[in-house]
Amino acid sequence: MGKNVAQKLIDSHLVSGEAVQGKEVNIRIDQTITQDATGTMSYLQFEAMGVPKVKTELSVSYVDHNTLQYGGFENADDHRFLQTLASKYGIHFSRPGNGICHQVHLERFGKPGKTMLGSDSHTPTGGGIGMLAIGAGGLDVAVAMGGGPFSLVYPKVVLVNLKGKLKPWVSAKDIILELLRRMTVKGGVGKVIEYGGEGVKHLSVPERATITNMGAELGATTSVFPSDDVTKAFLAAQGREKDWKELSADPDAKYDEQIDLDLNKLEPMIAKPHMPDQVCKVSEIEGMKVDQVCVGSCTNSSFRDLMLVSETFKKGGFKVHPEVSMTISPGSKQVLDMMALNKGLAHLIEAGARILEATCGPCIGNGQSPPSGGVSLRTFNRNFIGRSGTKDGKVFLCSPETAVAAAIYGVITDPRKLGKFPKVKMPAEFLVDDSMVVPPAKDPSKVSIVRGPNIQALPKQGPLPDTLKGKVLIKLGDNITTDDITPAGTWLKYRSNVPKYSESVFAQIDARFHEKAKATGGGFVVGGENYGQGSSREHAALCPMYLGIKAIVAKSFARIHKDNLVNFGILPLTFANPADYDGISDGDELEMTGLKGGLNSDTLVIKNVTRDKEIKLKHGYSPRQVETILAGGTLNYTTAKSR
């Protein structure tokens, strides 16, 4: 039987395990990427493994999150640490200002047919050029850099069959928003989303990357496009045609599910606050006053996206509405340079848009927070409550086309009302300047790693005890995000200082949570469906571990966060009967016994001592994960294995 693209990528990198759906397999990782918000901890973990040099084909350390070194020395010190460590251990270093990791990697380093692991949940952007690109916790990335395989459950593969061609003012962003409307933020869990059909050939690589990038919001393991002539043309324009490899599904390939999407019938879509799957047609909410428009992020900051916005202003002679603040964040230095050469930058500035640095910026709450209660239209990938930095801000997610229409008219507007569509041609040749990517040292022995005072020792967890007991410190609802657990924004400068960053845990929900956890010596957290969705930041597991959290009991977990909890020795457990969620309250005393032997069974029992009631739980761990939990986490497990 023939194979689909996802199966070809996984099977060609299989190290161990059976290629059987639902079974855990280990795959070889060719490339890794990190960014500064997660990378510092990942490299501290890599150091702790004692490996003298990375063993991947390529590893790149990007600084793209906290490039504004505000409020003290912490960010600048971390960047210096990252650069010196990269130089010593064989890692390329992309300097602040060179751009967002996903955009730069797509342009300069990604290769069809390769596997990539990244300490950022939007690593699947690389699927736009036919990579198996997976987001993971920083510790998983550290293990991959050390030559270890990456473990995943062999996934289901969903074919999104694209028919026809997009109409003017309808874009790739509308494709992924429509899928989110249909599938929801947990519809992709345990699945790879593969794109095929006649409509694929009409989508450029940047458009494909927009779709695979935001597949992270579906909860999918990753998303992937075939590598075809469109991919070849993009790589050739980057001076990298030799990196091209054809990759397509066999004619008789099978899929677990199929979703048909007629691009001819698709309309401009928009996600309403406060979740990426709260999607409707733009035409359904037209007329709502807009306070802010932000174009950029790793989802929509390509040359194609920004030139389209620029050309819309130019051709119509439009200006930014006087009651709207508009910002533009280029995805890379290459995009910024080419915008300038093509006068796209000048047109944006003339129209009244503000040009920001080539970074993540507003997407993670670093600047440009909307006004109190303000409506902000963003071409970003997430609109979780408070993520923008304004708790009552109303953030909508949309395409660059919809964003520029709102910026012009001051209200949410169907972009099809803007008239003739300004077509943007992909360049036959991109401007290539890799001077802001620093290669590793030729003689690592001469490099000294520089550590600032904010870089604290890596917290460690002991082996799992046979009995866990403590209080329920907080009970939460559905779709709790890693932003809810450990916020980004101004907190990110403490990413290498876990004791300080731990003060942020659940701070947006209960400002005293960290005090309660310390005072009681830790305890339990109870959650609803899809606990831990969103960013891959492992601090959402590492900081609770530092506070003494013993287990998270929820209805279901997001993939990356569940793996991160296991990595740090916290038990992620699900209710055997979801109705038992109602049988636990804040402050209840819980107890689990016989854990060392009990984990050999998938069913565990937790006793609610306060209510004198026993509740059955499931864990779903692989044998490797059981060993990891018993050891107290991946670092302990890996160290023991290497002896």
Percent of the chain with pLDDT over 70: 99
pLDDT at 643: 57
> Sign (positive/negative) of CA torsion 113, 133, 66, 93?
negative
Residue 127 one-letter amino acid: G
Q: Is the dihedral of CA 51, 52, 54, 59 positive or negative?
A: positive
Structure tokens at 572: 């992620």
User: Among residues 384, 435, 482, 346, which one has the least CA distance to residue 99?
Assistant: 435
Q: Do residues 31 and 115 touch, judged by C-beta distance below 8 A?
A: yes
Placement of tokens 């003060």 in the chain: 503
- Architecture in CATH of 5-265: 2-Layer Sandwich (3.30)
For 459-494, how does the pLDDT look when each residue is reduced to its tens digit (9 = 90+)? 888 999 999 999 999 999 999 999 999 998 888 889
Q: Which of 172, 201, 90 is nearest to 445 (CA)?
A: 90
Q: Token pair for residue 39?
A: 């990378």
Element (H, E) at 552: strand 549-554
Average pLDDT for 412-428: 92
Of 12-21, 215-224, 361-370, give the lowest mean pLDDT range. Answer: 361-370
> Strands 156-163 and 132-135: what pairing?
unpaired
Q: What is the CATH number of domain 269-418?
A: 3.30.499.10
Rounded distance between C-alpha atoms, residue 205 and residue 308, angstroms: 16
Scan for tokens 């602040």, then name that residue.
96
490-548: pLDDT as tens digits: 888 898 899 999 999 999 999 999 999 999 999 999 999 999 998 888 999 999 999 99
Lowest mean pLDDT among 66-80, 179-193, 225-239, 624-638: 66-80
Which of helix, strand or coil describes residue 101?
helix
Mean pLDDT to the nearest integer, 577-604: 94
Distances (CA, A) of 127 to 192, 255, 257, 535, 597: 10, 18, 19, 18, 41
Tokens of 524: 């339990």
Give dist(CA 162, CA 176) in Å, integer.
12
73 backbone dihedrals φ, ψ, rounded to 5°: -85, -10
Kindly tell me the burial class for residue 348, based on how many C-beta atoms sit within 10 Å of its own C-beta (0-12, 13-18, 19 or more): buried
Is the Cβ–Cβ distance between 264 and 21 less than 8 Å? no
Band (pLDDT 50/70/90 cuts) for residue 48 is confident
pLDDT at 567: 92
- Sequence letter at residue 488: A
Percent of the chain clearing pLDDT 90 (strictly above): 87
Average pLDDT on 360-377 reads 90
Rounded Cα–Cα distance for residues 610 and 135 (Å): 39
User: Phi/psi of residue 627, each to 5°?
Assistant: -60, -40
Domain with CATH 3.20.19.10 in the chain: 468-642
Burial class (CB in 10 A: 0-12, 13-18, 19+), 539: buried
Model pTM score: 0.92
* pLDDT average, residue stretch 616-622: 94
Q: What is the mean pLDDT of residues 423-434?
A: 91
Task: Give the pair of three-digit tokens for residue 252.
Answer: 């008789």
pLDDT band at 161 (very low <50, low <70, confident <90, very high): very high
User: Per-residue confidence at 642, pLDDT binned at 50, 70, 90?
Assistant: low
Q: Is 612 helix (H, G, I), strand (E, B) or coil?
A: coil
**Element housing 133 (H / E):** strand 132-135
What is the secondary structure of 352-371 as a DSSP string?
Answer: TPEEPPSS-GGGGTSS-PPP
Pick from 220, 135, 225, 208: which is nearest to 180 by CA? 220
The more confidently predicted of residues 178 and 39 is 178
Q: Please list the residue range(s) of the chain that carry CATH number 3.30.499.10.
A: 5-265, 269-418
What pLDDT, on the 0 to 100 scale, is given for residue 595?
A: 94
Instruction: Render pLDDT for 272-299 as a digit per residue (tens, 0 to 9).
Output: 999 999 999 999 999 999 999 999 999 9
What is the set of active-site residues?
A: 64-65, 120, 382, 535, 537
CATH number of 468-642: 3.20.19.10
User: Which amino acid, residue 168?
Assistant: P
Strand-pairing partners, residue 263, are: none
pLDDT surpasses 90 at 585:
yes
pLDDT tens sequence across 372-409: 999 999 999 999 888 888 989 999 999 999 999 999 99
Mean pLDDT for all residues in the chain: 94
Q: Where are the alpha helices (DSSP H) in 146-226?
A: 172-183, 205-214
- DSSP secondary structure letter of residue 469: E
Residues paired with residue 355 on neighbouring β-strands, in sequence order: 328
Span 229-238, average pLDDT: 97
Q: Which residues contact 454 (CB under 8 A, 6 or more apart)?
A: 73, 74, 77, 78, 493, 494, 496, 497, 500
Structure tokens at 409: 């008219």
